[in-house]
Structure 1
Amino acid sequence: MDKKTHFFYAVKLPSDTKSHVHRKLLPLQKDFRFQKWVHPEDYHITLAFLGNAETGMLEKSVHYVSDALKEEVSFPLSLEGLDTFGKKESPRIFWLRLVEQTRLYEIRNKVFQACEQAGFTLEKRPFHPHVTVARKWKGEAPFAHQLLHQKNPFDGNAISFEGEEIVLYQTHLDKEPKYEVVHSFKL
């Protein structure tokens, strides 16, 4: 197994939502000077990052996640804003904020606990649901945070969609798009 391969569980965005988001983000690339913009097919909401994983543990996680989600149904989600992670003047991640949705947290907790039950040691940072759209600020001037509000294409025009599929992704750093669906759970 490739040492650079990682696995994670995520909410898969519907194809039409990915396309809609991408169209809204294209005009922002001139104002938000990031080194790498995420391929639209790679848009997702991470629920549990597993890292490099043994096949047996992955299979256990699939079994436990499947069991945890067997009674779950799809739920509404909406993308509403722009934000960053990292240094204020030089952010490393540019992302889309979701409207607060209790069901997303419930689903995330079920997936997270199922992965721990399978033997994974997961990061305990608070869950901040988001869709990463770009990485590594490369602008010559410091990042202008006021642009997050001024240039927000989702302000008053949130993109709503159904969270109807949880997937186990495998990362391929040498490809684009770089995430491959290994297993899928329809809600």
Structure 2
Amino acid sequence: MDDHPEPSTLRVFVALAPPDDAKDELARALQPTYARYPRLRWNRVEDWHITLAFLGEQPSTAVPLLRSALAAPAASHPALHLGLRGGGHFDQRLLWSGIDGDLEGLHQLAADVRDLIRACGIEFRDRPLSPHLTLARSRRDDPVSVPQAAAGLTGFVGRPWRTERLHLVGSNIGRGPGPIRYRDIEAWRFGAAVQARGGGALTEP
């Protein structure tokens, strides 16, 4: 968690993050694509995430409300088993890797998170969930690279992994030149309440 004081407003979202070894596996598979399409604006591997609810620009006063609200769904939800699979693009501009695994559970988690955020009185644009991991964006003068890069990911199937934490993330997008940077405002471990009720640790199936 970042201990720096919050700015008066910040752009925030709620997300999941694949574990490092799953991200490293995809990054290795992308090495030829990195070399072939160097003009794409590639996201940093450490910033890869699966957005559950994008809240946009919010006043810093929303952060304590979100912290209180989001601890509950993380504690009450068991970990999800997911994986990275294939690739695609949105409007020839945004390159993504797809999500496989417990998609029903993922959609339910996103719905619960969004319901709790709305119950706090925080307004946001409630877009349909399309689970994906954003990898890169094209430049305005390069509409071809993203679809070609997506085609190169068609056969990728990553190892399955288990979600560890629910993340409240802030970004610097729209705050001057330079690459987008993300930082955890706070993160909560999944299944704490489930584990307490069961009297033991969560285990892999």
Q: Which residues in structure 2 correspond to 1:10-21 (within 5 Å)?
A: 10-21=15-26
Deviations 1:119-174 (A, max 9, x none): 2222232210100000125676735847634x22643x333211121101111346
Which of 45, 53, 56 is the matching residue for 2:58?
A: 53
Which of 97, 108, 111 is the matching residue for 2:110?
A: 108
Which of 73, 77, 90 is the matching residue for 1:72?
A: 77
The match for 1:152 is: 153
Q: Counterpart amino acid of 2:109? A: I
On the 8 A contact 1:34/1:135 being kept in 2, the answer is no
On the 8 A contact 1:83/1:96 being kept in 2, the answer is yes
State the alpha-carbon separation in 1 of the partners of residues 161 and 33 from structure 2: 22
Which of 172, 175, 178 is the matching residue for 2:181?
A: 178
The match for 2:99 is: 98
RMSD: 2.5
On the 8 A contact 2:93/2:137 being kept in 1, the answer is yes
State the alpha-carbon separation in 1 of the partners of residues 189 and 163 from structure 2: 9
Q: Which runs of 5+ in 2 are unaligned?
A: 1-6, 191-205
Q: Counterpart amino acid of 1:162? A: R
Give the match's secondary structure for 1:158: coil
State the alpha-carbon separation in 1 of the partners of residues 50 and 158 from structure 2: 16
Q: Which runs of 5+ in 1 are unaligned?
A: none
On the 8 A contact 2:13/2:56 being kept in 1, the answer is yes
On the 8 A contact 2:74/2:165 being kept in 1, the answer is no
The sequence identity of aligned pairs, in percent, is 22
> How many residue pairs are counted as aligned between the two chains?
180
The match for 1:42 is: 47
State the alpha-carbon separation in 1 of the partners of residues 143 and 60 from structure 2: 45
Change (3 A) 1:178 1:110: same
Q: Counterpart amino acid of 2:134? A: T
What is the TM-score normalised by the length of structure 1?
0.83
Change (3 A) 1:126 1:141: closer
State the alpha-carbon separation in 2 of the partners of residues 144 and 172 from structure 1: 24
Give the CA deviation at 1:63: 1.0
Give the match's secondary structure for 1:53: strand
Deviations 1:39-59 (A, max 9, x none): 000000001112222233221
